[in-house]
Amino acid sequence: MPETTRSIADRRRLARALPPLRDDDARAIARFIEAAWAEHGLARQTQAAYRRDLEQLARWRDGAGGGLLRIDRAGLFAYLGWRAGHGYQPRSNARLRASLRAFYAYLVRAGVRADDPAALIDPPRLPRPLPKALTESQVDALLAAPDVDSPEGLRDRAMLELMYAAGLRVSELVNLPANAVNLRQGVVRVLGKGGKERLVPLGEESQHWLERYLGEARPRLAGGKPVPADAHGGVPLFLTPQRHAPTRQAYWQSLKRYAAAAGVDPRVVTPHGVRHSFATHLLNRGADLRALQLLLGHASLSTTQIYTLVAREHLQRLHARHHPRG
């Protein structure tokens, strides 16, 4: 069941009402995050998710029985029961389990604990939803929605074209450095989850709009001033009038506006939906599953195989519509 805005707001209020984080728990979480980054190169979003999950558990426990470092399996089950009673969804609890498994496995490796209290916690059963892909005509209308006579509109058209052409995650798109695009070779270099790099073809249409953006809109957005480097030392490709990269939240809001302007229900248009559309449309037109895995930057082919279910539904609809015995 999808989470409502009200349920999310209720849980945020609940989290704010918990006691403050104790110093010993904060230090333990910080050491774990640093070690996880050094060992596995975790993406910033994963680090932030681990931190949120562990901090909420620590605040709920408030140092009882030794805090995070000494909690036993019964304490973890009690916390999961508390979450279940306050409306947390299975998907959120599945992510929490991943955070707990990673944290306590680290404590065992570091010799802080001899046992892993999270080892035998069963994952919640999750539905396997099919990705919601837009039709090709809906994508065409969405791509044509920005006003390309304005610098921001031309930038947004280039971003939409690139996201659809390369199947980028929204974090990958907004964080692209200026040197990631090679227009001469027609490729974009993407830094994906876990710091894994991949090269993705641009396509003629995306390349055209990127050339226009770089030649017309980006200089105007920069205002003739040098663009400051981001936190990682790179210069962002896509700029706001303040000469910074757009945030994921700002991009999401602009996508909703363009969906409404294109006559597409904004509730079904998300950044990840555009990525799903890229994958589904490629598969429907005969793309190889292994090639699709490389383009999407999936670590496992099993993650990509969900798109075969989408393609099968598409073929079933075509058969039912056009076959004499459909």
Identified catalytic residue from 218, 275, 276, 281: 275
Q: How far, in Å, CA of 280 to CA of 233, rounded?
A: 35
Q: How many CA atoms lie within 13 A of 32 on its CB side?
A: 31
225 noted as active-site residue: no
CA 248 – CA 252 distance, rounded (Å): 6
Give Cβ neighbours of residue 177 (< 8 Å, ≥ 6 apart): 230, 234, 235, 236, 237
CA atoms lying within 13 Å on the CB side of residue 296: 27
Q: Give the alpha-carbon dihedral of 228, 47, 131, 158, to 10 degrees.
A: 0
The CA distance from 65 to 238, in Å, is 49
Find the catalytic residue in 59, 169, 276, 281. Answer: 169
Dig out the tokens for 128 from the structure. Answer: 């396997």
Our answer to whether residue 196 is catalytic in this structure is: no
Q: Which of 155, 157, 218, 298 is catalytic?
A: 298
DSSP helix/strand/coil, 326: coil
- Residue that the structure tokens 């980054």 belong to: 37
Catalytic residue among 50, 106, 164, 307: 307
CA atoms of 241 and 263, how far apart (whole Å): 28
Non-local CB neighbours of 252 within 8 Å, separated by 6+ positions: 170, 270, 271
Q: Would you say 314 and 320 are in contact if contact means Cβ atoms under 8 Å apart? A: no
Catalytic one of 193, 198, 248, 256: 193
Q: What are the tokens at 78? A: 């009690």
Which residue among the candidates 272, 312, 317, 319 is catalytic per the annotation?
Answer: 272
Distance of CA 182 to CAs 29, 197, 251, Å? Answer: 40, 15, 23
Active site residue 275: yes
Q: What's the length of the chain? A: 326
The answer to whether 40 is a known catalytic residue is no
Taking only Cα atoms into account, the Rg of the chain, rounded to an integer number of angstroms, comes to: 23
Query: How far are the Cα atoms of 182, 279, 312 from residue 309, in angstroms, in the given order?
Result: 34, 12, 5
Q: Which residues are catalytic?
A: 169, 193, 272, 275, 298, 307
